[in-house]
Structure 1
Amino acid sequence: MGGFTEAVRERVRKARSALSEAVKAEDAYEVAVAQDELDDALRVARRHGIDVGMDVAADEG
């Protein structure tokens, strides 16, 4: 696996984690920031055909 692929997967993993923590903390601002980062990371992954393990619909719910 290439370094770029691994970096994109790690970015998605961190973004998912940040979103989860922000939701648990009920911090609307951090949820918005984390969701934006996740959306961007997933967009990069899709653009490059990188499987990140979950579909986008699961992340939006």
Structure 2
Amino acid sequence: MGEFAEALLARVREARADLAAAVEAGDVYAASVAQSDLDDVVWLARRHGIDVEAGEE
């Protein structure tokens, strides 16, 4: 896997962790921002043919 794909998968993992933390904390605003970030990075990864589900391992 190339560096670009690895970096995007790392960003997906980070965004998912940020979203989970915001939800756990009950911070609606932070959860909204984290969800938006996650949506953006998942879209970018898929646009480049990167399987974001494989990055969950």
TM-score (norm 1): 0.85
1:39 is displaced (CA, Å) by: 0.3
CA offset digits 1:3-54 (Å, max 9, x no partner): 0000000000000000000000000110011000000010001100101117
Structure 1: state its 5+ residue gaps.
55-61
In 2, Cα distance between the equivalents of 1:4 and 1:16?
18
2:36 equivalent in structure 1 = 36
Q: Gaps spanning 5+ residues in structure 2: where?
A: none
Letter in 2 for 1:28: V
RMSD: 1.0
Partner AA of 1:32 in structure 2 = S
Count of aligned pairs = 54
For residues 1-61 of structure 1, the aligned pairs below 5 Å read 1-53=1-53
Displaced runs of 4+ in structure 1, greater than 6 A? none
